[in-house]
Amino acid sequence: MTALKNDRFLRALLKQPVDVTPVWMMRQAGRYLPEYRASRAKAGDFMSLCKNPSFACEVTMQPLERYPLDAAILFSDILTIPDAMGQGLYFETGEGPRFRKVVSTLADIEALPIPDAQKDLGYVMDAVSTIRRELNGRVPLIGFSGSPWTLATYMVEGGSSKDFRKTKAMLYDQPQAMHLLLDKLAQSVTSYLNGQIMAGAQAVQIFDTWGGNLSAAAYQEFSLAYMRKIVSGLIREHEGRKVPVILFTKNGGLWLESIADAGADALGLDWTCDIGEARRRVGQKVALQGNMDPTVLYAKPEAIRAEVARILASYGQGDGHVFNLGHGITPEVDPEHAGAFIRAVHEFSAQYHG
Catalytic residue check, 19: no
Which CATH number goes with the domain that contains 59?
3.20.20.210
Domain contains 255? yes
Tell me, what's the pLDDT at 1? 60
Tell me, what's the pLDDT at 312? 98
Domain contains 286? no
Catalytic residue check, 279: no
Domain that includes residue 160, residue range: 31-276
Tell me, what's the pLDDT at 303? 98
Domain contains 106? yes
Mean pLDDT (10-residue bins), the chain, 354 residues: 90 98 97 95 91 96 98 96 94 81 96 96 98 97 98 94 95 97 98 98 98 97 98 97 98 97 98 97 96 98 98 97 97 97 98 94
Q: Cα angle at 315 between 261 and 321, to 5 degrees?
A: 60
32, 36, 67, 154: which is the annotated catalytic residue?
154
Catalytic residue check, 133: no
Domain contains 171? yes
Catalytic residue check, 66: no
7, 8, 67, 77: which is the annotated catalytic residue?
77
pTM summary value? 0.97
Domain contains 200? yes
Q: CB 302: neighbour CB atoms within 10 A?
A: 10
Catalytic residue check, 154: yes
7, 8, 11, 27: which is the annotated catalytic residue?
27
Domain contains 4? no
Strand partners, 144: 205
List the binding residues for substrate. 27-31, 77, 154, 209, 327
Tell me, what's the pLDDT at 244? 98
List the binding residues. 27-31, 77, 154, 209, 327
Number of domains in the chain: 1
Domain contains 246? yes
CA distance 10 to 122: 26
Contact criterion met (CB below 8 Å) for 206 and 227? yes
Domain contains 293? no
